[in-house]
Amino acid sequence: MQATLQKIIHVDMDCFYAAIEIRDNPSLAGKPVAVGGLSPRSVLCTCNYEARKYGVHSAMPTTKAYRLCPDLIVLPVEMAKYKAASQRIQQIFHEFTDLVEPLSLDEAYLDVTDSPHFNGSATLIAKAIQARIFAVENLTASAGVAPNKFLAKIASAWQKPNGLFVIRPHEIAEFIKVLPVEKLHGVGRVTAQKLHALGFKTCADLQTQSLIKLTNRFGKLGQTLYEQCHGVDHRIVNPHRERKSVSVENTFNYDLKNPAEHEQAIIELHQKLAYRLQTINEVRPIKNQFVKIKFNDFTTVSAETKSGESNLDSYQKLFLEAYTKIRKPIRLLGLGVSFSKALLTNDFQQQELFVN
Ligand code: TTP
Ligand code: MG
């Protein structure tokens, strides 16, 4: 399979919110620290690496985190502070290239294929970016350098925290063979279980399958599985990517059967979506809210309503509207919002241009 080779850097800040809090209060250094909600139903946004040693992680209910790590220091979310740091970090990326595609507040892809910096060495550019971030923000970032987005993202997580991992074109084949299938884009917990049950544990196992076999078995996902297991990803770094919508979903270990389970699942997903919305840096207004339900017989229903916000009550109503169509045990539940096309301010500026 022919791969288009680019020089991509993926940068991801280390335990971003927690690192900012520790930087701003050095007496916290070396202690287990998390950032998140403190009320009984809240979850953590993130935690530092000391806390991770106890098994604490992002999206874990705060009460569970305290059970695992009784000395955990949980700090409230200070979004304005994280957004300000994120903007300064984005500016640093732009010192090196204009081809920056932010994924969230703390991570971005950079295409440095044609960059004149450091004689075109993506590795040296990545090192320089890490050094600049540390000098300006006193925070560490991990970077991955690779010939495409998919591998660059895997590389940035390979030696976290404060890591730099490079996958050169001639190293792809060796690297990819041992890569576990759960590292692939689009493979969540449930798909990973399915792949394991079929005997596919690593990309080498998947490489034994033809494109046709994989698409027959996995539909659209089969194509990306086929490409990724050969180390291929044709996506380009797109600085102007417009997100149409944002959604979160959960495939449950056990099918949900009663209203209390439904309600709890909706509350958790709503909270997860709220965090996602905070981190993606989307400035366009919300246009619609929607709910998706997959029942245990794989029938899928959805419901949508006009809305300017991600509102819990509306999700509950949308859920009932969709659920009553089928009323079977639920395998998967998803919530999301879609955005208006244009920014209101842009429309305004546009009008002004015409008036003048
Ligand atoms: P991540 O990059 O996933 O995590 P991280 O930066 O905290 O840790 P790592 O060193 O593993 O990269 O997310 C970036 C920030 O987004 C994180 O600091 C907090 C926020 N976040 C949430 O609010 N909720 C979540 O479920 C996750 C995963 C992240
Ligand atoms: Mg991060």
Q: From CA 158, how far away is CA 127, in angstroms rounded?
A: 15
Kindly state the average pLDDT of the residues 105-134.
96
Would you state the pLDDT for residue 356?
27
Nearest CA to ligand 1 atom 7: 15
For this structure, is 352 an active site residue? no
Give the position of tokens 């990545």: 126
Would you state the pLDDT for residue 243?
84
Q: Which of these ranges, 56-65, 156-165, 212-221, 338-347, has the smallest mean pLDDT?
A: 338-347
Would you state the pLDDT for residue 1?
61
Would you state the pLDDT for residue 3?
58
Among the listed residues 50, 101, 107, 268, the single catalytic one is 107
Q: Both tokens of residue 166?
A: 């490079």
Residues facing 225 on adjacent strands = none
Would you state the pLDDT for residue 283?
76
Nearest CA to ligand 1 atom 20: 45
* Ligand 1 atom having least distance to the Cα of 17: 18
Our mutation pick for probing the ligand 1 site, out of 15, 21, 42, 46, counting the most ligand atoms within 8 A of Cβ, is 46
Nearest CA to ligand 1 atom 8: 15
Give the residue extent of every domain in the chain: 1-179+229-237, 180-228, 245-339
Nearest CA to ligand 1 atom 10: 14
Q: Which of these ranges, 23-27, 135-139, 251-255, 302-306, has the smallest mean pLDDT?
A: 251-255
Q: From CA 183, how far away is CA 188, in angstroms rounded?
A: 9
Provide the pLDDT confidence category of residue 2 given band limits of 50, 70 and 90.
low
Would you state the pLDDT for residue 355?
30
Classify domain 245-339 at the CATH class level.
Answer: alpha beta
132, with CB counted inside 10 A (0-12, 13-18, 19+), is middle
The number of the ligand nearest the C-alpha atom of 78 reads 1
pLDDT digits (tens, 9 = 90+) for 319-328: 999 999 999 9
Cα(13) to ligand 1 centroid in Å equals 9
Q: Which residues form the pocket of ligand 1, taking CB atoms under 6 Å from any ligand atom?
A: 12-17, 45-46, 58-59, 106-107, 160-161, 275, 279
* Ligand 1 atom having least distance to the Cα of 18: 18
Q: From CA 271, how far away is CA 24, in angstroms rounded?
A: 26
Look at residue 142 and tell me whether its pLDDT is greater than 50.
yes
Look at residue 353 and tell me whether its pLDDT is greater than 60.
no
The domain 180-228 having CATH identifier 3.40.50.300: the answer here is no
pLDDT digits (tens, 9 = 90+) for 292-309: 999 999 899 999 999 999
* Three-state SS annotation for the chain: CCCCCCCEEEEEECCHHHHHHHHHCHHHCCCCEEEECCCCCCEEEEECHHHHCCCCCCCCEHHHHHHHCCCCEEECCCHHHHHHHHHHHHHHHHHHCCCEEEEECCEEEEECCCCCHHHHCHHHHHHHHHHHHHHHHCCCEEEEEECCHHHHHHHHHHCCCCCEEECCHHHHHHHHHCCEHHHCCCCCHHHHHHHHHCCCCEHHHHCCCCHHHHHHHHCHHHHHHHHHHCCCCCCCCCCCCCCCEEEEEEEEEEEECCHHHHHHHHHHHHHHHHHHHHHCCCCCCEEEEEEEEEECCCCEEEEEEECCCCCHHHHHHHHHHHHCCCCCCEEEEEEEEEECCCCHHHHHHHHHHHHC
Kindly state the average pLDDT of the residues 145-159.
97
Kindly state the average pLDDT of the residues 244-259.
93
Would you state the pLDDT for residue 189?
87
Total count of residues recorded for the chain: 356
Give the position of tokens 């079929």: 198
- Pick among 3.40.30.10, 1.10.645.10, 3.20.20.140, 3.30.70.270: CATH of 1-179+229-237: 3.30.70.270
Cα(276) to ligand 1 centroid in Å equals 10
